[in-house]
Amino acid sequence: MRVKYVLNEVLVGLWRNVTMTVAMIITMSVSLFMLGASVLMYMQVDQMKDYYYGNIQVSIFLADDVNDGQRQAIAAAIDNSPLLAEKTYETKEQALERFKKLWADSPDFVNAINANSLPESYRVKLNDPEKYEEFAKTVEGLPGIRQIIDQRQTLEKVFEIFNAIQVGALFVASFMALAALLLVGNTIQVAAYSKRREVAVMKLVGASNWFIQAPFVLEAMVAGIVGALLGFGLLFLSKVILLDNKLQALTTIITPVPTGNLWLMLPLLAGIGSLVSAITAWVTLRFYLKV
Amino acid sequence: MIQLENVTKTYPKASRPSLDNVSVGIEKGEFVFFIGPSGSGKSTIVKLLLREVQATRGKVVVNAKDVTSLRSWKVPHFRRSIGCVFQDFRLLPNRTAYENVAFALEVIGKTKAVARRVVPEVLELVGLGGKEHRYPHELSGGEQQRVAVARAFVNRPLILLADEPTGNLDPDTSIEIMRLLDRINRTGTTVVMVTHDSNIVNQMRRRVIEIESGRIVRDQARGVYG
């Protein structure tokens, strides 16, 4: 009986104030969508780091006038490094082959290049790509080296961009969350006002505090969960529409978003949405009903 | 049953206390009037007994419970032993007489079956048999107050507090309500009534405690308004 009473109160409460309920749900869903997107992005960047850092190389380009002695000294220095995982040597001819493949779309450009204009190089994989600096010291300054390039530095720039987007999304999410919480507080105040007679009688006859507060708190929680479902829907749609269709070209850079991660957002958003609204409602009631 | 010991209540920002060092004892089964002019502190006593407000100093004991040291989460349960009637009835306009009384039972966790058994009984007792399904706006003032009394009494409280219960009623209706309260008193329920209706006090000839400027100026068994 009491459960039925409380549930009925929740539905009536949400319906009585339906414009406010809709506003609350919409801001909640946008806020949770942004939160979900930034959490997904965070997981994605982690995954991409694993993926890319595993394939990362340090390229040591040799000077045009390098001689055999210098070449062997460099090779020895690389071989002696404890950080070495794998070393390959690329001649000028191999470099040209690779270059042709890479630029196969522009034959004019390729024809203008001959093997002599490309440097020979050592390609080194490190067992720990974080320790690039340490490795660079062991070969740096040896005669016959033109340039040492760490792919990691290029990647970090890409990750910095991802990071900035993620921080931006979190920033927007927190602003939207603030608006959503204020709306929750306001909705609960309006609900408490419209039920002030019932609340006064309940206090008078000694209804327990939880029984007075439960319909209001549940009202906020239901709105929070509906908001979370909508937010998740937005997240799902944007993955399907943006990543799987429109921006598919990007998927050569961004590793595919695992569906498992996406589904993980559903309980996360619903949990955060309902918990945060419940707490907000409860705190509002403590000030407003003084039960 | 009710014990006030050197109770002082000063509201924030008030220049003088509403109750000033008041001590009074009320036994089980008594019928007591608190009388006095507006602002004398009568209603503060009702609020203290219900623990709607806390005493600034002194001790309030109701039904063997020290209200002044009662933890706030225990207040709801404490209030179930006290019935309350007010000048403005405080009925829910969108519920019938039956539903108003049943509501009071249901929100303290009684089942619908209990309500079905007890509510018609108590409505009969207050003389509203046959009007269970009227809404408050379909009832006269006296009948609305009867519903309020039924709601206050349905839980068989040990104490019935009545704050100006006849304040909105004409003299004849007031007397009917007083008869009802008297009947309830005869069941053993302690009745505490705040009023400034001199006719009623003079007719009832019960204990009268007069308050003026927060102090008890008279406490008389079988008293009159004076």
In chain A, residues with a C-beta closer than 8 Å to the C-beta of B107 are 201-202, 205, 207, 211-212
Residue type at A201 in one-letter notation: V
Option in A205, A211, A212 nearest B79 (CB): A205
The CA distances from residue B44 to A32, A215, B41, B147, B188, in Å, are: 49, 31, 5, 25, 25
Q: Helix (H, G, I), strand (E, B), or coil: what is residue A195?
A: coil
Percent of chain A exceeding pLDDT 70 equals 96
Domains detected in chain B: 1-81+161-226 (3.40.50.300), 90-156 (no CATH)
Nearest CA distance, B36 vs chain A (angstrom): 25
- Asked if the Cβ–Cβ distance from B106 to A5 is below 8 Å, we say yes
pLDDT at A121 over 80: yes
If DSSP codes are grouped into helix, strand and coil, which group holds residue B218? strand
Alpha-carbon span A235 to A262, nearest angstrom: 8
Q: Where are the domains of chain A?
A: 2-52+156-288, 64-143
Average pLDDT of chain B to the nearest whole number: 93
With contacts defined as CB-CB under 8 Å, which chain B residues touch A210? none
* Closest by CA position to B176, among listed B209, B200, B194, B201: B200
Q: Nearest CA to B205 among B217, B221, B192?
A: B221
Contact A263, A40 (CB under 8 A): no
| Distance, CA of A113 to CA of A231 (rounded, Å) | 53
**Which residues of chain A make contact with B115, given a CB cutoff of 8 A?**
none
Contact check, Cβ <8 Å, B77/A1: no
Distances (CA, A) of B221 to B193, B204, B210, B225: 15, 11, 12, 12
List pLDDT tens digits, range B60-76.
999 999 999 999 889 99
> Mapping DSSP to helix (H, G, I), strand (E, B) and coil, where does residue B225 land?
coil
Decide if B107 and A205 are in contact by the 8 Å CB cutoff. Answer: yes
Domain A64-143 belongs in CATH node 3.40.640.10: no
Decide if A208 and B155 are in contact by the 8 Å CB cutoff. no
A172 with A30: CB under 8 angstroms?
Answer: no
Contacts of A49 (CB under 8 A, 6+ apart): A159
Q: Which of B73, B90, B107 sits opposite A211 (nearest CB)?
A: B107
Q: How many residues does the structure list for chain A?
A: 291
Q: Which long-range contacts (CB under 8 A, 24 or more apart) does A158-162 make?
A: A158/A253, A159/A45, A159/A48, A159/A49, A162/A41, A162/A44, A162/A45, A162/A48
CA distance B150 to A112: 103
Confidence of residue A248 (pLDDT cuts 50, 70, 90): low
Smallest CA–CA distance from B157 into chain A, residue: A205
Residue B15 burial class via C-beta count within 10 angstroms: exposed 0-12, middle 13-18, buried 19 and up: exposed
* Three-state SS at B3: strand
Q: Which of A2, A4, A5, A201 to mutate to test the interface with B (most CBs of B within 10 A)?
A: A201
Q: Is the predicted pLDDT of residue A245 greater than 80, yes or no? A: no
**Interface pTM, i.e. ipTM:** 0.87
Question: pLDDT per residue over B121-161, tens digit each?
Answer: 999 999 999 999 999 999 999 999 999 999 999 999 999 99
Give residue A187's pLDDT: 86
Q: List chain B pLDDT tens, one digit each, 226 residues.
A: 899 999 999 999 888 899 999 999 999 999 999 999 888 888 899 999 999 999 999 999 999 999 999 998 899 999 999 999 999 999 999 999 999 999 999 888 888 899 999 999 999 999 999 999 999 999 999 999 999 999 999 999 999 999 999 999 999 999 999 999 999 999 999 999 999 889 999 999 999 999 999 999 999 998 888 7
Alpha carbon distance B125, B122 (integer Å):
5
A228 pLDDT more than 90: yes
**What angle in degrees, to the nearest 10, is found between the helix axes of A2-16 and A209-238?**
60
Average pLDDT over residues A201-217: 89
